[in-house]
Structure 1
Amino acid sequence: MHNAERPAPASASYRERLSPSLWLIVSAAVCAPMAAIVFAPVDGTWALVIGLIVGIAIVVALIASAPRLRVDGTQLRVGRAHIDVSYLGTPEVLTGDEARAARGRDLSPNDWHLLRGGIDGVVRVPLTDENDPTTRWVFSSRTPERVAAMITRAQRGR
């Protein structure tokens, strides 16, 4: 009889892409007719083709370059930055006026932040590592309650 160990159950994870708002995408798409106008004196057909290519390229670049937010195992990843959840304190969920203040007047120069326009929710997490000059992580999320719950769950090791 074969006695193989069963793999540990995969830890719960959270993933979110902080994609640009619809208004930003529509605004970026306005570059298509602008590019077409520039090339219109050369050739009308080529101007339309180039305008379409420019518009599509800008929209695709905006979506593809959108940062990702992930909680995997014991790591919190926001954009390119990552930190072990053992160095984090209790996450704070902010929406509405509190979120606006956190993105503006309450944002400390010692905070690490990744904030996106068009995303109302903000998660603010204090750092407990005394050797780190950063005091808190402040970042946008469309579902800040879920992010905070996943960070807390990862901290408990479930």
Structure 2
Amino acid sequence: MSDSAVRGHDDASSPRSVRYREKLVPSPGVWLLVGVFGLACFAVGAPINIPVAIVVAVVLAAGLGLLLWSSSPVLEVTDRSLQVGRAHIEREFVGDVEIFRGESARQAAGPQADGRAFMNFRPWVSPLARIQITDPADPTPYWLTNSRHPEELARALGSEERGEDG
């Protein structure tokens, strides 16, 4: 699947109907840096042996790209649950969603963050969604995660999204 959200997937035969799915893959700028990394590896090895430098550069750049891709977390909302990376919670314990952009996102992720919160950050995605957790047995007050489409995430969770622009 692509890194964009999947919307409106309703398959009655599916045991879990996906309402929203997003993989937080690196932005085009990060992929450009992976290419620059490969060129730098080639430049270091080229004076010694050009064919070996090409192989090393391709292997290292591909390895870095694979690492970035495979470590990109998935946000998924189904009829029954919310998953953010490896964290998972039943939908009945999900409250309101608040959206932050710009300076307010920086404040929400830094000085105003609660140390008990679950946080899922990727530097190549700037909007944040703060998802309230209503489980009385869970000491985590909220989940704070990046999302390229936080309004769609909030709608999939059935929340009246509130936003703060900065």
TM-score normalised by structure 1 residue count: 0.82
Matched, 1:135 2:141: yes
Shift, 1:122, TM fit: 1.0
Q: Tell me, which stretches of 5 or more residues in structure 2 are unaligned?
A: 1-10, 160-166
Q: Is contact 2:97–2:130 with CA below 8 Å preserved after alignment? A: yes
Bigger share in helix:
1
Aligned residues with identical type, % of pairs: 31
Q: What do the CA deviations read for 1:82-107 (whole angstroms, capped 9, x no partner)? A: 10111121111222222221122111
Residue 124 of structure 1 aligns with which residue?
Answer: 130
Shift, 1:108, TM fit: 1.2
Q: Is contact 1:32–1:52 with CA below 8 Å preserved after alignment? A: yes
Residue 92 of structure 1 aligns with which residue?
Answer: 98
CA–CA distance in 2 between the matches of 1:86 and 1:136? 14
Residue 80 of structure 1 aligns with which residue?
Answer: 86
Q: 2:150 aligns with which of 132, 144, 147?
A: 144
Residue 27 of structure 1 aligns with which residue?
Answer: 33
CA–CA distance in 1 between the matches of 2:158 and 2:125? 22
Q: Give the letter aligned to residue 142 of structure 1.
A: R
Q: Is contact 1:33–1:51 with CA below 8 Å preserved after alignment? A: yes
CA–CA distance in 1 between the matches of 2:121 and 2:88? 15
Q: 1:39 aligns with which of 45, 48, 62?
A: 45
Change (3 A) 1:116 1:134: same
Larger Rg: 1
Bigger share in strand:
2
Q: What do the CA deviations read for 1:42-95 (whole angstroms, capped 9, x no partner)? A: 421111222122112212321232111100121100111110111121111222
Aligned residue for 1:20, secondary structure, equals: coil
Stretches of 4+ aligned residues off by more than 3 angstroms: 7-12, 37-42
Q: Tell me, which stretches of 5 or more residues in structure 1 are unaligned?
A: 1-6, 154-158
Q: Give the letter aligned to residue 26 of structure 1.
A: L
RMSD over aligned CA atoms reads 2.0
TM-score normalised by structure 2 residue count: 0.78
Q: Is contact 2:24–2:74 with CA below 8 Å preserved after alignment? A: yes
Aligned residue for 1:131, secondary structure, equals: coil
Shift, 1:14, TM fit: 0.5
Q: Is contact 2:18–2:76 with CA below 8 Å preserved after alignment? A: no
